[in-house]
Amino acid sequence: MRPNTAKRKLQAGLPILGASVSAASPLVAETMGHLGYDWVLLDLQHGENNLGNIGALLTAVSATPTFPWVRVVSNDGPLIQRVLDLGAYGVVVPMINNAREAEAAVRAMRYPPKGDRSWGPIRGALYGGADYFAEAERELMLVVMIETADGITNADEILAVDGVDGCLIGTNDFSLSFGLSPRPVPDASPMDPRVEEAAQRVLEAAKRHGKGPGLFTTDGGMAGERIRQGFRIISLLGDVAGLRAGCAANLRQVREVADTISPTA
């Protein structure tokens, strides 16, 4: 089976860098895959993607060195199995609140006797290789999202679950749990102390259980700071936010020159 180098790096304690794709565009997905990320997250939860087009995006990323992940809408076993069958090498499951929910996600990722995944990797084996059944448990990745008050409280038991490779912290959802507004993107200002404390609790729980702690970042400076803090799954600006930030910065730079030109008539 195709070796999951992103998983190997994470197991070695190294950071793995990725970004989300919200656009329903194979061209965008393939472009992101060629930029040098360790993983690219195809977003079914908040993007415009759906089961009708996710296969095309997975195929597009498969043409690049980057490993394709999918964030599913919810902790739905059949949906997790569908995206695995279509070729996802990593699955991100949102709103995990306790060990029982984490265990359900693990079961959906694994074939019997350790899980309840049904056989039929129509494209997963084509991308992964002929020994897909034998090696899937070793190569595929499960990343749970801890983003609610219950998830924060139960972070230790969630990350103790065998088969969970790491977590992503939804700091904006943390903020909502504390009655705060989501942070704009980009935003280099310090997070609310309550959110920061919650993120630290999850980080420490992940370290105790040898799992990869991760979060979403809004700029390169924040990403570097979080890596130094100990986070190892780093989500950088995705396609839509990166497009907006990059194009806006370029426009501002050129507009400063354009606005110095006086009309000729």
Active-site residue list: 46
Rounded CA gap, 82 and 60, in Å?
17
Contacts of 217-220 with C-beta under 8 Å, sequence gap 24+, read 218/183, 218/185, 218/186, 218/187, 218/188, 219/186, 219/188
Please give the single-letter amino acid code of residue 91.
Answer: V
Q: Are 254 and 247 in contact (CB under 8 A)?
A: no
Question: Is the Cβ–Cβ distance between 85 and 123 less than 8 Å?
Answer: yes
